[in-house]
Chain A
Amino acid sequence: MSGVSRRHFLRLTAGTGAAVVLSSATPAALAEGGPRDTRVYVLVVDGCRPDEIGPVLTPHLHRLRESGTNFPAARSLPVMETIPNHVMMMSGLRPDRSGVPANSVYDPGEGAVRTLDRPSDLRAATLLDRLRAAGHVTGSVLSKEYLYGIFGERASVRWEPFPIVPVSGHAPDLATTDALIAMVHRADPALVFVNLGDVDRAGHTDLTGTTLRAARTAALWSTDLQVGRFVADLKRTGRWASSVLLVLADHAMDWSLPHRVVSLAGRLAADPALTGRVVVAQNGGADLLTFTGPEAERAAAVARMRSIAAGTEGVLSVHAPAELRLGPEAGDLVAYCRAGWRFTDPDVWSNPIPGNHGHPATEPIPFFVAGGHPAVRAGATSSAPARTVDVAPTVGALFGLPEPAGGYDGTARLDALVGV
């Protein structure tokens, strides 16, 4: 990442013996904390489907869900990808206000498709910086390099994901949990934003995903153990009674067979009016289409693009970005695929992985509030339509943080809380 400012580093040894390096802008953030007040841990089990949590495979997550307040109607928001939904969680704003609509967009300034992984890509304030400005210590423990990239130095205390698994670009949940526990022990932030990447990464690459989901199942089991380890540590160190855990996923996962692929780039290029003038930013189950020709021709070209995309087998629907509350960064059109399909663009070999998300089939997510804090409503279920964008207003309410300028797009899910 660019623009690294003066940073203070602290090397710790985790309970597993691994080294954990935290960084912060000020030494004070790494000082031992005072008497313990409300602590909130937003744990994102990346890519987890709500129906994958159960008493046998994921007993710790299951117990947490049963013990607190569950939101079974919870859903991810467009585009159902990791970066935009993490940004929505922390900002409480939809992408048309944050500037982050997808993982991958066409950047007209650079004339290329790129990942939104730069601190400057996120135009809105987040809880990490707003709570920090209000005098709280905040922390980020994000297993994926691009998340660490976009959230940059917003948190008072950060963990830079390490070691990184080649290809997947993420740190294993074991290391992430080591870092989380070390950060809580040492800096004890009021809010820690955590991404556990194993379940998502195993889901993407699981060639048995349409049937057996062998790797995925193993990852769920192992990630659940890590969550259990963190909860046990909070209890062991006397922190449980002041802790609120908000556990959710950023999106779900859907598996497709190799013949269920949609490649729009070639079909669009075959239209003489569009040849060489459409760029596709592929986001698994969603394609962002941008017309790069003359402005005067845009309206007609977009109509042709829409017609071609909508007429392609495997395409579920085509939307103007504004319909989905996506800003101009999303390009001219968003195409979704059907369940059991995936996009592979620009080429038919570009996306070989069976597990994908980004399309509406991957909207349902787990979303529950647990913990020993007296504000947590125990043993409850709410019909409320919780969304990823609701995390910031819910956590903000716990800290009495005022709404940002222009208000939140999300809703504080106070069903889960008592006396807030």
Chain B
Amino acid sequence: MFRAGGVAAVAAGAGAFGGVAVADTGPFAHGVASGDPLPGGVVLWTRVTPVADAVPGSGAGPEVRVRWEMALDEGFRNVVARGAVPTGPARDHTVKVDVTGLAPGTWYWYRFHLGGAASPAGRTRTAPAGDAPVDRLRFGVVSCSNLQAGHFSAYRHLARREDLDGVLHLGDYLYEYAPGEYQARDVVVRPHDPPIEMTTLAHYRRRHAQYKADPDLRALHARVPFVVTWDDHESANDAWSGGAQNHTEGAEGRWLDRRAAAQRAYAEWMPVRYEPGGRLYRRFTFGALAELSMLDLRTYRSRQAAHPLDPAIHDPDRTITGDAQLRWLRDGLVTSGAQWKLVGNPVMIAPVRFPSTLSTEELRALSRLTGPLTGVPYNVDQWDGYTADRRELFAALRDHGVRDTVFLTGDIHSGWAADLPYDPLTYPLNRNSVGTELVCTSVTSDNLDDILRVPPRTVSLGVEAAVRVANPHVRYLDFDSHGFSVLEVAPSRVQMDWFALADRTDPGSAARHTASFTVRAGTQRAVRTWEPLR
């Protein structure tokens, strides 16, 4: 989501138009990462800087071969797989290896070598075997990490945990804006590189490189595998299949070229089993316990409705998923052999009607968080703007008696727990919930108190209460906090804990637990619990 602020003050000196310095970290300045764990395999990632001028996005530097190895122990005494892959300027010197033949449910350590230099070691974990009983899974859940708006302390706190099997990044991993276009209230905490809005392949590559140089993000990537999807800011704000709100056709080139550049850089720089032209939506299985369907809600979607009263939001010919992805999602949920059906969902699916009791100022602030509002009930960039797709999906869950579907969502810079009513009008009477939705807040990106320029947990409390009254299926709402969530999946229940940063602009910020909600098996309801995960 986009909220352009006013004129911004650039806090620190903007990086020179030459990318991030790498001299002190050798050829592996951007760290190592892993992702997309399967029972027998995982994707390993790094980026090499073989010579000083092979900076990201430059197209400079030689072809090289990068060796990799994978071991069962941190000391690499028991190496179980190794190999070598070529890379070069054609793929911005990124390295991606899809290692196969691994044992399920196993921790591995991996590292890369270029010449005599070794990368830092990373740790990763394969998924449990397909039909294995699994007692517990824990994931960090994050979204909306705008480097200009703060430090990635959320990643650091997750990296320090010993209990995670992986991290789900639900989109807006990086932002396209130039310094001054979108930051923390009025302060650019860390200016973007390149110091312009990214529109070309070189820009996207450099921006990815800047993010990957962040020490907290590097630490988390090296610690556990990521499962990622993109939302809009990986390309441009409010992207749809034919354009984006933050794209000016012509002046900023052709949208399809810009998107292709964004997707190519994403494929190069992210530890994801995705190549340009392929499909980002995909499914993971974690034994009999859980299945995770990761959605792509930008590539195939129809253009957003012009305004929330536009009858187009109910038009069955408009889509947020595209026909093929909706069929894939629906059929997967209906025939799933796993108990918990998790859906990595970049934008909220719970219907949300904004109350008419809010002040003009509050409504204006909300609209800056959610898109055009003008006093009516929808955020048309979410599933609320594409009700036919949601109706079809919810009907399938209901018609087939699908239980234990949990949507895990980002995008909206706020924490939510909600039931998913098949019919919101009769929900208070019969609790016709077909699933639940748990929404993590932003790592750094602005939310309601930032937009209203008030202290956290003041004005927002009233807004949250009003929203909950108008939407009785919404169980929890925190419009102010930045931070991360931890999700536990167990046979008896799913629980999400929310954690808030003390100060996103402080590189050493503390984090504290703010709320926990559970969904007990078979209930399709989110219920507050006062016991955080231990």
- Are A339 and B399 touching (Cβ within 8 A)? yes
A307 part of interface (Cβ distance < 8 Å): no
Number of B residues, CB within 8 Å of A:
26
- Are B134 and A383 touching (Cβ within 8 A)? yes
- Are B401 and A383 touching (Cβ within 8 A)? no
Q: Mark B322-351, 1 if CB is under 8 A from A, else 0.
A: 000000000000000111100000000000
- Are B429 and A415 touching (Cβ within 8 A)? no
Closest to B398 in A: A339
Q: How far is the CA of A362 from the CA of B404 in the complex (A)?
A: 15
* Residues of B contacting A363 in the complex (Cβ-Cβ under 8 angstroms): 400-401
Q: How large is the interface on A (under 10, 10 to 19, 20 to 34, 35 or more residues)?
A: 20 to 34
Q: How far is the CA of A75 from the CA of B288 in the complex (A)?
A: 15
Among A72, A361, A382, chain B packs the most CB atoms within 10 A around the CB of: A72
Q: Kindly identify, within residues 330 to 382 of chain A, every residue whose CB is under 8 Å from any CB belonging to chain B.
A: 338-340, 359-364, 381-382
* Residues of A contacting B359 in the complex (Cβ-Cβ under 8 angstroms): none
B468 part of interface (Cβ distance < 8 Å): no
Per CB-CB distance, the 5 closest pairs between chain A and chain B, nearest first, are A72-B521, A381-B492, A383-B339, A381-B491, A73-B339
24 A-B residue pairs with Cβ-Cβ distance under 8 Å, sorted by A, are A50-B403, A51-B523, A51-B524, A72-B491, A72-B521, A72-B522, A73-B288, A73-B403, A73-B521, A75-B401, A316-B399, A316-B400, A339-B395, A339-B398, A339-B401, A340-B398, A360-B399, A360-B400, A363-B401, A381-B521, A382-B133, A383-B133, A385-B288, A385-B337
- Are A364 and B522 touching (Cβ within 8 A)? yes
Q: Mark A377-412, 1 if CB is under 8 A from B, else 0.
A: 000011111000000000000000000000000000
- Are B522 and A51 touching (Cβ within 8 A)? yes
Q: Which of B133, B288, B340, B403 contacts A364 (CB 8 A)?
A: B403
- Are A211 and B430 touching (Cβ within 8 A)? yes
A26 part of interface (Cβ distance < 8 Å): no
* Residues of B contacting A316 in the complex (Cβ-Cβ under 8 angstroms): 399-400
Closest to B431 in A: A51
- Are B522 and A50 touching (Cβ within 8 A)? yes
Q: How far is the CA of A73 from the CA of B400 in the complex (A)?
A: 13
Closest to A365 in B: B401
B490 part of interface (Cβ distance < 8 Å): yes
Q: Which residues of A contact B (CB under 8 A)?
A: 50-51, 70, 72-73, 75, 210-211, 252, 316, 338-340, 359-364, 381-385, 415
* Residues of A contacting B395 in the complex (Cβ-Cβ under 8 angstroms): 338-339
**Least Cβ–Cβ distance between A309 and chain B, in angstroms:** 15
Q: Which residues of B contact A (CB under 8 A)?
A: 133-134, 287-289, 337-340, 395, 398-401, 403-404, 426, 429-430, 490-492, 521-524
Q: Given A383-B287, A383-B288, A383-B338, do A361 and B404 touch, yes or no (CB 8 Å)? A: no
**Least Cβ–Cβ distance between B371 and chain A, in angstroms:** 32
Q: How far is the CA of A383 from the CA of B523 in the complex (A)?
A: 15
* Residues of B contacting A340 in the complex (Cβ-Cβ under 8 angstroms): 398
* Residues of B contacting A72 in the complex (Cβ-Cβ under 8 angstroms): 339, 403-404, 491-492, 521-522
Q: How far is the CA of A383 from the CA of B338 in the complex (A)?
A: 7
Q: How far is the CA of A12 from the CA of B471 in the complex (A)?
A: 58
* Residues of B contacting A70 in the complex (Cβ-Cβ under 8 angstroms): 492, 521
Closest to A69 in B: B491
* Residues of A contacting B338 in the complex (Cβ-Cβ under 8 angstroms): 383
Q: Given A211-B430, A381-B521, A382-B133, do A362 and B401 touch, yes or no (CB 8 Å)? A: yes
Q: Which of B399, B400, B491, B524 contacts A383 (CB 8 A)?
A: B491
**Least Cβ–Cβ distance between A225 and chain B, in angstroms:** 23
Q: Given A51-B522, A73-B339, A211-B430, do A384 and B288 touch, yes or no (CB 8 Å)? A: yes
**Least Cβ–Cβ distance between B421 and chain A, in angstroms:** 14
* Residues of B contacting A361 in the complex (Cβ-Cβ under 8 angstroms): 398-401
**Least Cβ–Cβ distance between A151 and chain B, in angstroms:** 27
Closest to A254 in B: B401
Among B134, B399, B490, B521, chain A packs the most CB atoms within 10 A around the CB of: B399
* Residues of B contacting A382 in the complex (Cβ-Cβ under 8 angstroms): 133, 491
* Residues of A contacting B399 in the complex (Cβ-Cβ under 8 angstroms): 316, 338-339, 359-361
**Least Cβ–Cβ distance between B158 and chain A, in angstroms:** 25
Q: How far is the CA of A360 from the CA of B339 in the complex (A)?
A: 17
Closest to A384 in B: B288
**Least Cβ–Cβ distance between B396 and chain A, in angstroms:** 9
* Residues of B contacting A75 in the complex (Cβ-Cβ under 8 angstroms): 401
* Residues of A contacting B398 in the complex (Cβ-Cβ under 8 angstroms): 339-340, 361
Q: How far is the CA of A86 from the CA of B490 in the complex (A)?
A: 30
Closest to B397 in A: A339
Q: How far is the CA of A382 from the CA of B340 in the complex (A)?
A: 12
* Residues of B contacting A211 in the complex (Cβ-Cβ under 8 angstroms): 426, 429-430
Q: How far is the CA of A339 from the CA of B289 in the complex (A)?
A: 26
- Are B401 and A384 touching (Cβ within 8 A)? no
Closest to A76 in B: B401
* Residues of A contacting B288 in the complex (Cβ-Cβ under 8 angstroms): 73, 383-385
Q: How far is the CA of A75 from the CA of B404 in the complex (A)?
A: 13
Q: How far is the CA of A360 from the CA of B398 in the complex (A)?
A: 9
* Residues of B contacting A364 in the complex (Cβ-Cβ under 8 angstroms): 401, 403, 522
* Residues of B contacting A384 in the complex (Cβ-Cβ under 8 angstroms): 133, 288
